[in-house]
Structures are given as C-alpha cells and as structure tokens.
Structure 1
Amino acid sequence: MTASQSRSPRLTVRHVLALSMALMIGAFTLPSPASAQQSTQQSSQPPADNDALPVEDVQTFAEVFERIKRAYVDEVDDTTLMRNAMRGMLGELDPHSTYLDKEAFQALRETTEGEFSGVGIEVGMQDGQLTIISPLDGTPAARAGLQAQDRILLINDTPTESLSLQEAVDMMRGKAGEELQLTILRDGEDTPRKVTLTRETIQTESVKHKMLAPGYGYLRISQFQSRTGEQARDAIAALREESKGKLSGLVLDLRNNPGGVLGSAVDVADLFLDNGLIVYTEGRLPDSDMRFTASSQTIAPDVPMVVLINGGSASAAEIVAGALQDQQRAVLMGTESFGKGSVQQVLPLPNGDGLKLTTALYYTPDGRSIQAQGIAPDVDVVRGRLEVAEGNGFDIRESDLENHLRNINGEADPEPQGASLAESDYQLGEALNLLRALNVLPRAQGGN
C-alpha cells in the first residue's frame, strides 16, 4: 500500500461544495452550468496535497447546516447561512479579511474613489474592541474631536461587542442628514462620553498644502486614494511656485492617515526618491511577491523633509514613512505608527459581492516587517499644546499696532507662525523648527 493509499479518504477544496450539496438533502440550489464552468477554469491547476479536506469535516459542516435549518428558533434561508459561513471563514483569519455583500463592496469602492456617505472614521478591531484608527480630515468625526484609539462602546444603543467589524461599519454608514450616536471611551478617561454626529456625503480631498513660513511648505495626505500620487505632485509644484522655485523644507503630514491604495503610496514615495527600493511584498502565491523601486524622474529629490506620524498612521502611510526612513531621505517625527503591515486584495465575485483577503505582508527597503509593531519615529514628539504664559501686559509688538509703518525694505508683515503654530499644533511647530535647524546646520559646518 502506498503512502497516499494509507491516508483516510480526503477531498480537495474544489469538491467540497459539491459534496456538501449531496449531503444536505437538497438544502442547496445546484450551481448553473456557467458558474460551474467558471469554477472549473479557476481550478485548472492540480491542487496541492495540503489543499485537501477530510471527509469528516465536510460531513460535520453539512450536519451543522442541516440542524440549523431544522431546529433554529427562527427560519433561516440558505443564502443567509452560506454567507454567514463565508464571513466566519474570513473573520477568524485576521481583522482585515472579510466577505463583502453588494452594499459593503460598493461602499469600499466609494471610499477608495473618495466619496461616500457616513461620519468619516476608519475603524478596526483591537483587542476585541471596535476602535477608531483615524478620523478623516474635514468630516463630522474630525469636527467632533474623535481621535485615533478611541474605543466605540455603543453605536446608537447597540453594544459593539456583539458586532462584527463589517456590521459596525454598515451601522455607521447611512443617508446624509441622518444622526448617529456613538458612545466612546478614551484612554486615560474613566467615564464614556456620548457623541452625536450627522452623516454627510463625504467627498474627501486626500491632499492639502500650504506654506508654513517663507520657503517652508506643508503637504497633508489624509488617505491614499487612486489619484493621491498625482494630486501630491501638483501640490508640490504649487508649493515650489509659491516659494519662487526654492523650497527650503517640507513637512509631510501622515498623521491619522489610515492608508489606502498601495500603488498610490508608491507614487508618493517616488516623488521624493530618485532611486532604490520603496517597498516589497511577499505572500504564498507567486503574483503576491512584488518589488517597487523609485524612478529617476522625481519632483522633489533634495528638499529637506520631516514626516509626521502617529498611532493613526497605518498601512500605506507606513509604507511611505518606512521607505523615506530607510532611505535616510527624511526625519520621522511624532509617535509610533499603527502597525498594519499586511496587503489586501479586493476580489469581485460572480454574484456581485466581494472578497477582501489578506494575501501578503509588505516590507520596508531594509527588510522590516512592521506588522503589529509599527514604525518608531526618529524624534519622539507627543501631541500637546503650548500654553503661553501671561506676561506683564507688554507683549504687543510694533507690528501689532493698527496703521503701523511697514519696514523700509518693503517686506510684508511676518505671519504669526512661531508661538501661534506651536499653540495650535505642537508637533507641526516642532517639525518646522527642525527643518529650520537642518538648514542652519550645513552653513554652520561650512564655517568651521
């Protein structure tokens, strides 16, 4: 008897559904010839031995299905049971793999393309609790002051501990104008708070820019959508034009950026790198192993940079931060990032539903996997506010007086960017200070 003959009877994955239908005494509807042909074409490669399933497990699945159909207190249709089974298969793998019904599949596409109806938060499961990864800029959630790591205890009156991630997302989505109440608990606080939000049609602009000070630009990327790389290129060109062709420094703000499209993250990193590896991925399938390198045509290869990250910087945001850090292209400032180092593929299904499946891990140029670890900044700067001490009443400067005489050189009044910037955004203020120091340092070294 050969080794293969000595094993207990086993079936390959491609035969599981057919056997289940035979065992369930007509509980399923047989697939159409077209779908069966598609399944055969997709399974044309001979399955590996470790893709086989024991007959006993298939029989157990069939028995559970039949008992639910016969004895559950409420009648449940076949489609619901099958979709629940598929959700269960994916839900137990990792927090990011999930079965998407038509509505959820469409919602995911809308988010990627930059328009959806909701309150504007990216959520995930952390330690079994529904947790905010980041609020999106300019959305009801951001205006209400919700923060990364806030735990959501209730959605309206429904405890989130009884919900799957997809169910929670579905409950928070809805028609524009409708109200949604979230009960959240923030780290360091003992009492939950209730926040009432009004859903909006959210058209997210993933890239914003402005000048922080003469010669110093600010580039904010709130998430990585399909056109983010192109928008970031345009923003940098606008900053160059505004600074008369000379950027002395740039702050790239990736705080509370939950990630998004892998290709867009590569495009953004490529704006600042003219050679070398940006990111590579490794998975079980050959087409999951990919390498992305920088091109020589780069819009800003030599501008001094500070990248701001925090606990809400995840996935594609970490790809950009990790590439710029490993290539020693930028200084990372802030707090440790979220630590999502996995890649998901979104696969459409013949019935209009979708499958989001984790297929690979990504690695920074130096070979770091940040999965469940995150990226540590080069300079730790926690979120805070600068409180300006009360003076003796003589804090007013000449430039503050109405109708004051302008400088004889014709220079414009300086913008209040020192203390005021640190007051409103301490981390950003420190980033600007570091960029200024980086520009002073070469001159000081040249004078020695």
Structure 2
Amino acid sequence: MKFKISTIWMSAILFGSMTALGATQPIQTNTNVQTKTSPVQSLPVEDVQRFTAAIADVKKYYVEDVSDDKLFNNALQGMMTGLDPHSTYLDIEDYATLNSATTGEFGGLGIEIGSEQGYILVVSPIDDTPAQKAGLKPGDYIIKIDNQPVQDMNLQDAVAKMRGKPGTKIVLTIYRKTEKAPFNVTLTREIIRVQSVKSRMLDNGIGYIRISQFQMPTIDDLNASLKKLKAQNSGKNLSGLVLDLRNNPGGLLDAAVGVSDAFLDSKKLGKNDLIVYTKGRIKGSQLEAHATPGDLLNGAPIVVLVNGGSASASEIVAGALQDQRRAIIMGTQTFGKGSVQTVIPLDEQTAIKITTALYYTPDGRSIQAKGITPDVVVDMMEVKADKNNDNLNMIIIKEQDLASHLANGNQSPQGKAGPEIVNAEQTTAAPVVDNQDTGKGTQPLAVTDYQLNEALNLLKGLKAITRDQEAAS
C-alpha cells in the first residue's frame, strides 16, 4: 500500500532520543533540499574573528597539543548540542554508523538514550538486545559507566565509552525511581540484529504484531506478518489486532506513515484523511502525509499498546490512529518527542542531524514534551502466581450442584458431578506459550504480560458486541 506525501525532503528521521547505542536509524536520499547551493546569510565578521581567536589561543596556551581536527569537531558538536537535545554533529564514525544501520545489523548494547539533568536517560531498550536482557527499563538513569560518573559528561563521550568490541563486558550503575538505591548491571556487548516486526496469533481470531523500530523494511514486514496471521487463522480475516508499540523509540518517518496508512481507508475518513503533517521554518520542512484507499484489516478493531518508551515515530502512528478513530490506544503516557530531525551531509564523511520541524497529528495536536494520552490507561502490573497457595483455587458452585435442581430441557438427566474446582489464574486469560520458548510450558497471559492481556480482553468484548449487533439486525 502506498501513501501520499505532498513534499519529500531529505533524511526525515524521528528519534526517541538524541543518541542511540546500536539504535541509529537509516537515512534516505535527498530529493528536494539543495543544501550546497542554498543561499547562506553572511556571518558577522566580529563573531568569526572571535571564534578564530579562541582557536588560536587554545592551540597556543592549552596544557597539551590539540589537533585542528579535534578543535573543529568539538566546536561543531558544541554548536549543535546547544540547540536542543536531538540536534548533533555526526563525525566520521557516527555518520558511518547511521548509514550502515539500513541493514538492521550493528554493534552495541541495543539501548536508546538521551540526556536529562546531567545524567544519561534510558528512553527505551530494544527487543532481544543486551539492554533488554539485562532488565533496563525506560526512565532508568545511567549514573556511572564502569564506575566512572557520567554527570555532565558529553553525551557523545558517554556513547563512546559504552561502545566496544562485541563480547566485552561493561558495568552500568543504574538509578531507578522505584528502587531504594542505585544498582549495577553487567552487560556484554554484541552484534545487534534488529527484527523490527514480530507477530503471532492470540486467540478468538485476534492477532498480535509488535514493531520494535521503524526501519526501511518495516512496511513490507508488516504486510508479510498480516498475511501470515491470516493464514494461521485458517485463511479467515482477523477479528482484531493488538499493535504493540511499547518501548519503540522511533525511526523513519516514511515507515511510520506507511504503517498508519495500512489501517486507514481514505474513503472512510471524509475530508480529513491526514496521517501527519509537519511545520518548520523553511519551505522544505512543510510536509503532509495522507491516507490512501484500502484497509489491510478490513475495519477489524485495533488496540495499540504504548508506554513511556514509545517515542516519535511510534507517537505518529498512535496519534494518527487515535485521531482518525481507527484504534483504541491503551497503556501509559508516551514519551512526548514531537520533532523531526534532518540529516544534512557536510561532506562525504560527516553530517549534521538538525531539528527542522515539529509534527502534528490529524487533529492538529503537537505531541512535543506532552506525548499521547491513552484512551484506556493501564499500568504495567506484575501478576505473580503461587500455585502452592490454596487461596488461588476457588470452588465454583453452579446450578447443577444445587440439590433438586431442574434438569436441562434439551438433555437427558445426568448424574451430579459435584462442584468444579478452578484455578483462579485460569479465569483471567487464556494461556499462551512463553515468548522466549524457554521450555517453561504455558502461563496465563495476565502473568506474562498484563497490558497485553487487557488489550486482548478489550478486543474480545468488542467482538462480542459486534456479534450481538449483527444478530439483532
């Protein structure tokens, strides 16, 4: 399915944070913006003289010799990071990493990070990476790297310290608001291979799709996953879908628009068929993305799961489906990153990533520093099952257990079977196979993923209502 974008411009990237360790997003080819030939306003001579004088004094008086390359790189980095948390200078290594990320394979910890109050903020761990396996959570603060404090450390320097050869270990000291004291986490660096889309069937014809990042292959992977789910559902259309965007830090704007368009039918949207639009200072930053005809789910209900780690491109999808009344948003408040970054090459090896626009949902909402408020707020809860506790078992007494009960008019009288003993866990949700296939067998969905369990229950309820309405008509 194709979507309509009125203006295409260079390297539109939506990051959940300023810097990613093994989570930088692919860039795209510049089509309209001519950065090399655009007129540049002349700089004040006095400012240029002051800058060159500062460089000369550093080279003359600093305690150690400093190369021109280091001085200019530091100056560029300081200029960009002084603008906002998401603008940055990409040196040779950073730019190469950004370009190579189109393959979905890179080295690192698999963690999306930013800077807040002088510390390193964990925006989101990425699925199936050392960061996720170590239990890092959105909102954690990294306060030490290998026992070295990071307070007021340049974010790029912190990134450099956390990068390293795959197989080597690193110790991060974490502050978490729910814990009484900071604690250490040991991670092993590895090559990160990101599978941006995963899917499985739940029950009652309801499918589940998780998007961990918005990359170039995401739209094709989504289409393939929907076809796979339909085949698993005996070739029948899905009766509902849970779209999981939790801990998705963002990615490519085009991918977010394509995912939204997959579920939006412009013929049913009326005059406002917008998915997202952006507004910036220059003409090239003005963008409108519109839905096209067709809905890959044929109108089946959708629940979108979000949380504080859902940022940027994830918020575009959630905002579009919410404003167009196409999905119910469930979970907790999202991150609130509503700006667009453009990658502009300075030469063949370096570039700047600069904020060029703010994006808005179809109803004109800006998500910047606010986020998406779910339609149904469901906190992530941990449900623990204690099978040795008799309180988890309850006796359910039914009509057939009562003395002298009337027999079923359509069946032959049966002997009294006695009260039914049911484990309380089984009343919460259908059991599902453990996602990690660890051989632990099955556990109730309410135990493995409480928010997903609630989304499934909501879709089951909507299915029942629809069935009753069809029967009454």
Map 1:193-272 to 2 at 5 A. 193-244=183-234, 245-272=236-263
* Post-superposition CA distance 1:236-265 (Å, at most 9, x none): 111111112221110000000000111111
Provide, for residues 71-104 of structure 1, a one-character-per-residue CA deviation record: whole Å limited to 9, x for no partner. Answer: 0111111111111111011010011111111111
Distance 1:392 1:365, change over 3 A: closer
Residue 298 of structure 1 corresponds to 295
* 1:262-341 to 2 correspondences below 5 Å: 262-275=253-266, 276-341=273-338
The Cα of 1:59 is off from its aligned counterpart by 2.1
Map 1:6-155 to 2 at 5 A. Answer: 44=37, 46-47=39-40, 51-155=41-145
Shift of 1:347: 2.3
8 Å contact kept, 1:154–1:182: yes
| Structure 1 counterpart of 2:455, one-letter code | A
What residue number does 1:181 align with?
171
Equivalent residue of 1:372, what SS?
Answer: coil
State how far apart, in whole Å, the 2-side matches of 1:445 and 1:438 are: 11
Q: Which residue of 1 aligns with 2:390?
A: 391
User: Take 2:320 and 2:98, find their aligned partners in 1: how far apart are those partners?
Assistant: 27
CA, structure 1 residues 120+42, in 2 after alignment: closer, same or farther (shift >3 Å)? closer
**Counterparts of 2:191 and 2:384, CA distance in 1:** 36
Deviations 1:325-376 (A, max 9, x none): 0000000000000011111112223251121111111111111110111110
Residue type of the alignment partner of 1:391: D
Residue 440 of structure 1 and its aligned partner are, at CA, apart by 1.5
Give the 3-state SS of the residue equivalent to 1:235 in structure 2. helix
**In the alignment, which residue of structure 2 is the partner of 1:442?**
466
Say how many residue pairs are matched.
389
Aligned-residue offset at 1:42? 5.5
Once residues 393 and 88 of structure 1 are traced to their aligned partners in structure 2, the CA distance between those partners, rounded to angstroms, is 59
Counterparts of 1:316 and 1:393, CA distance in 2: 42
2:453 to 418, 422, 429: 429
**Structure 2 residue aligned with 1:20:** none
Q: Distance in 2 between matches of 1:65 and 1:77?
A: 10
* Residue number in structure 1 paired with 2:420: none
Q: In structure 2, the residue corresponding to 1:328 is in which secondary structure?
A: coil
1:127-150 Cα deviation digits (max 9, x unpaired): 332111110111111111110010
Distance in 2 separating the partners of 1:116 and 1:347: 22
How far, CA to CA, are the matches of 1:286 and 1:278 in structure 2?
Answer: 20
The answer to whether the Cα contact below 8 Å between 1:112 and 1:261 also exists between their aligned partners in 2 is no
Counterpart CA distance in 1 for 2:88 and 2:72 is: 14
Indicate conservation of the 8 Å contact 1:104/1:170, yes or no.
no
* Deviation of 1:61 (Å): 1.4
Q: Deviations over 1:187-239 (max 9, x none)?
A: 12231111111111111100000011130110000011111111011101111
**Partner SS state of residue 240, structure 1:** helix
Structure 1 stretches lacking a partner, 5+ long: 1-40, 398-413
**Retained in 2: the 8 A contact 1:214–1:243?**
no
SS at match of 2:363: coil
- Greater RCO (Cα-Cα under 8 Å, separation 6 or more): 2
Counterpart contact for 2:122–2:140, Cα < 8 Å:
yes
Supply the distance in 1 between the matched residues of 2:260 and 2:392 (Cα, whole angstroms). 48
Amino acid at match of 1:438: L
> What value does the CA root-mean-square deviation take over the aligned residues?
2.2
Letter in 2 for 1:134: S
Q: Which range is displaced more, 417-426 or 254-263?
A: 417-426
Give the partner amino acid of 1:101.
D
- C-alpha distance in 2 between matches for 1:112 and 1:351: 17
Give the structure-1-normalised TM-score: 0.82
Report the Cα distance in structure 2 between the residues aligned to 1:267 and 1:337, rounded to whole angstroms.
20
What is the deviation of 1:162?
3.7
Judged with a 3 Å threshold, the aligned counterparts in structure 2 of structure 1 residues 143 and 337 are, in CA distance, closer, same or farther, namely same
Q: How many angstroms apart in 2 are the aligned matches of 1:439 and 1:303?
A: 9
Q: 1:85 to 1:337 in 2, by over 3 A?
A: same
Q: Aligned partner of 1:348: which letter? A: P
What is aligned with 1:343?
A: 340
Q: Alpha-carbon deviation of 1:125?
A: 1.3
| Aligned twin of 1:14 | none
Residue 48 of structure 2 aligns to a residue whose secondary structure is helix
Compute the displacement of 1:419 (Å).
7.4
Aligned mates of 1:435, 1:274 — CA distance in 2: 20
Q: Given the superposition, is the C-alpha separation of residues 316 and 113 from structure 1 closer, same or farther in structure 2, using an over 3 Å criterion?
A: farther
Q: Please say if 1:416 is aligned against 2:440.
A: no
| Contact 1:113–1:225 (CA under 8 A) maintained in structure 2 | no
In 1, are the aligned partners of 2:322 and 2:328 still within 8 Å (CA)? yes
Structure 2 counterpart of 1:257, one-letter code: N
SS at match of 2:444: helix
Report the Cα distance in structure 1 between the residues aligned to 2:35 and 2:377, rounded to whole angstroms: 50
What does residue 380 of structure 1 align with?
377
Write the distance in 1 (CA, Å) between the matches of 2:202 and 2:395: 22
| CA pair 393-230 structure 1, distance change in 2 beyond 3 A | closer
Deviation at 1:393, TM superposition (A): 8.2
1:355 aligns with 2:352: yes
CA separation of 1:367/1:69 partners in 2, compared to 1, >3 Å: closer, same or farther?
Answer: same
SS at structure 2 position matched to 1:280:
strand
Q: What amino acid is aligned across from residue 424 of structure 1 in structure 2?
A: T
Q: Is the 8 A contact 1:206 1:222 kept in 2?
A: yes
Query: Is the CA contact (8 Å cut-off) linking 2:335 and 2:371 kept in structure 1?
Result: yes
> Is the partner of 1:213 in helix, strand or coil?
coil
